[in-house]
Every structure is written in structure tokens, then in C-alpha cells.
Amino acid sequence: PAESDAPTPCDVLVIGGGPAGSTAAALLAQQGRQVVLLEKEHHPRFHIGESLLPANVQLFDRLGLRQDIERIGMPKWGVEFVSPDHDHATMVEFGDAWDKTMPYAWQVRRSEMDEILFRNAAARGAQAIEGCRVRDVQFDAEGATVTAKQDDGSTRRWRARFVLDASGRDTFLSNKFKAKQKNPRHNSSALFGHFRNADRLPGRLEGNITIFWFAHGWFWYIPLADGTTSVGAVCWPYYLKSRKKPLQEFFADTIALCPELQARLSKATLVDDAVYATGNYSYTSTHCSGERYLMLGDAFTFIDPVFSSGVYLAMHSAFEGVGVVAATLDRPAEAAAARQRFERYMRKGPREFSWFIFRVTNPTIREFFMYPENPFRVKEALLSLLAGDIYGKTPIWRSLRVLKTLYYLVSAGHPR
């Protein structure tokens, strides 16, 4: 089919209809802006990343979607840690965090959650188009011309005053600008599958996530509302390179390296006999804003998912990003300062999580997770971090500094 002539004008074009893109599109459309939201796939589509944080619940409230997510979600009240160095598991509850008003989150099927967010953007007035992949973006002083290809092979073009890149790990603009930097400290990969009849914790603990550490990485164990349980192994690269068997057998062998996990799966069967593998390495872009664009969520940066922080950071970046769009389009004198704030903000969350992620296997830090003591309210501060309570008014930073100082004192000379 022939290309249409003049590009269709809009205020904001959003690349990618995942949590970041759909949230931003809904908020902007609600403000009366002309928003085009392009998603290359069709919802409901599979996505990994099924465990949410308590701080995310407030974001669903602000979107008016709490009940919709509640309907599909499995309540998650805390995190269970299981480690070969300890003879019993430790359960930590979000209700014990500093701020007691955010005691729970949900485990979700991302196909369901992401569809709710996407349809919400459309309901708020965004033009939400599926099966439409952005191929090219050309910027100039006034905005950008965006070219996208639809499933039927036809090409469409838009003229946007602002572009939000929410393309996830595809990192559309970061690739275009050759701005992507991989983190050499973290290049693990994940193997995962869904199980029926996996053992569950009793009563209200049933929906809690369990993190099992084992010799070559860690596992997630995420009970979903439909009775299946998502199990994934995040493995260090040397281990995956050692693979000589088909993926399914290798996954079974890997599970067998963690006896506590194997016991919980003793009666379980793998749904559709399917095991998946995905790259899980961390990266960041050198920058996340320009005069006519922002990068949101995974399009800007990705950190190891051990704290289930990705969806929250992605959606929160959308809430922050719409302020920069408003400044650029309505109050240009304020745009540069708004972008600077956004750049600082986008680094804060990943930086705070990463500090602990890279040290989560260090004995000093792990002791606090496994046997959380509470001097200087360190336990509450750590739980608040785990709950995602990092952008609000909760004063957790002094306590976390105490923990970091303790770590540096004890670990001097032993960086990991």
C-alpha cells in the first residue's frame, strides 16, 4: 500500500503500550491532549514481570484502576527469602515497613494487567493502535515526524509535538542515539515457566513471592490468581554457558540444585511443557530526555528484577514524565528545568535499588534480610525500599545510610 501524504498531527506520540506508555497516554489524554499510542503487538500479549510492589497500588488508584487490578491479582503481603546458608526461611511483611498504609501489592498476569492499562488509555481518549510498530523518528525544533508500519504492511506517519519512548527493552530512541550502555556487573539471563499444582504457603501468605538463592543465581516463585505459579531462574552467565541439554531439561536440572524449591514443585506440572529464556542484563541510556522527547521505564534503564521494581519504576516514570510534556508544550520557559529534574529523578530509583541488588548476596546485607533487626529503624527502611516507597515523604534514607556504613565497615576489602 502507498504511503499517505501528509503526516497526521498530534500533541504526543507514545512508542509502546506497556505499563509506562499506557499510563502516560492515559494521563495526557485525560488532560485533553491529542495522544497517539502505538503498540507493535496485540493485547493481550505475554510479558514477563508478574510481581508488583505496594507503592504501585497508589498509582493504580490515581488511574482509577485499583478494582480492575484487584480483580485479576493475587494479593501479595510480603516476601519469603530462602537461602542455603540458613536452615529456615524468613518471611518479611510490607505491613512492617515504615509507612503502614501500603501493606500489600498483587501478583498479576501481565497479559491481563497490560491490557487493562492499554484499554484505559483508549477509554481516556488516546488513539491506541495495536499491531503498529514505530520504525523511524526524525526530530526537529518543533517536534518529530514518526513513521510506523502496521501489521498489514501499510505505513502511517504522524507529526507529533512531543515523543515519549516507552518501548521497553527494545530501547528505541536509546538505540537510535547510540546511547545505550550495558552494565558489565550484571549480564545474567532468566529461564522461566508456569506450573500447575505447585505448593503454596498457607492462608493469607499464599500469594507472597518467594526468592530462593542457589549456587548459580536466584529463583522467583510467584503464585498467580488462576492457580498457576510462575517460576524463574536468574542465572549468572557462566552457568548458562555450561548448558548442553535442551532448555526444558536444563531448567529441571537447575531446579534440582535448589532442594527447597524442588520440594515445592514435587507434585507440579509445567504448563504446556513450555520453558522460556530471556536476556535479563542491565543497561542504562546516557540520558533520558531531549527537547522533544523522554525515555520512560525500561526504554531508559533496566535493573535486575530481584526486588520486583520494574513495573513500578516504569509507571512512576510516566507520572513524572507528563509534567515535562506539559512544561514543554505549555510553559516552554520551564522546560529545561523540568527536564533536568526528570533526569535526576529517573536515576534515583534504579540507583537506590541497585545498591542493594548488587549486594543482596553479601552476608552483612543478607543478614538484615534474613534476620531483620531494627536498630536505627533499618529493618523498616529496608522493607520500605522493598515496598517501593522511595519517592514519597517516608524518611528512610538516614536508616539506609546506617546500613550502608555498616556494610562498608564490615566488608572493607571484600567488595561483594
Residues interacting with ligand FAD, by CB under 6 A? 15-21, 38-41, 47-52, 133-134, 166-170, 172, 190, 232, 278, 280, 297-299, 305, 308-312, 314
CB of 224 to ligand FAD, least distance (A): 12
CB of 328 to ligand FAD, least distance (A): 21
Nearest CB to ligand FAD, comparing residues 41 and 93: 41
CB of 41 to ligand FAD, least distance (A): 5
Nearest CB to ligand FAD, comparing residues 307 and 407: 307
CB of 317 to ligand FAD, least distance (A): 8
Q: Which three cell numbers stand for residue 334?
A: 520551564
Contact 159, 260 (CB under 8 A): no
Nearest CB to ligand FAD, comparing residues 39 and 380: 39
Q: Calculate helix-pair angle for 378-387, 335-357, nearest 10 degrees.
A: 120
In whole angstroms, what is the distance from residue 348 CA to residue 246 CA? 40
Distance between first and last Cα of the chain: 57
CB of 76 to ligand FAD, least distance (A): 10
What contacts 334, CB < 8 A, 6 or more positions away? Answer: 327
CB of 191 to ligand FAD, least distance (A): 9
Distances (CA, A) of 110 to 66, 103, 214, 279, 413: 15, 21, 26, 18, 42
CB of 267 to ligand FAD, least distance (A): 24
Nearest CB to ligand FAD, comparing residues 3 and 151: 151
CB of 332 to ligand FAD, least distance (A): 27
- Quickly tell me which residue has 513500578 as its cell: 312
Nearest CB to ligand FAD, comparing residues 55 and 396: 55
What contacts 44, CB < 8 A, 6 or more positions away? Answer: 111, 112, 114, 115
CB of 411 to ligand FAD, least distance (A): 27
Residue 127's closest CA among 17, 63, 34, 43?
34
In whole angstroms, what is the distance from residue 256 CA to residue 330 CA? 58
Q: Left, alpha or beta for 165 (phi > 0: left; psi -120 to 50: alpha)?
A: beta
Rounded to 5 degrees, φ, ψ at 37 are -115, 115
Beta bridge partners of 181: 284
Q: Which stretches within 284-334 are classed as H helix?
A: 310-330
Q: What angle do CA 241, 49, 150 make, to 5 degrees?
A: 95
Q: Left, alpha or beta for 109 (phi > 0: left; psi -120 to 50: alpha)?
A: beta
Nearest CB to ligand FAD, comparing residues 282 and 399: 282
Nearest CB to ligand FAD, comparing residues 309 and 394: 309
Nearest CB to ligand FAD, comparing residues 24 and 335: 24
**For 92, which DSSP code?**
E
Contact 352, 392 (CB under 8 A): no
Distances (CA, A) of 412 to 360, 361, 376: 16, 16, 22
- Residue 183's CB: how many other CB atoms inside 10 A? 16
CB of 357 to ligand FAD, least distance (A): 12
CB of 179 to ligand FAD, least distance (A): 16
Nearest CB to ligand FAD, comparing residues 167 and 399: 167
Distances (CA, A) of 406 to 154, 186, 278: 60, 24, 35
Nearest CB to ligand FAD, comparing residues 304 and 380: 304
Nearest CB to ligand FAD, comparing residues 250 and 312: 312
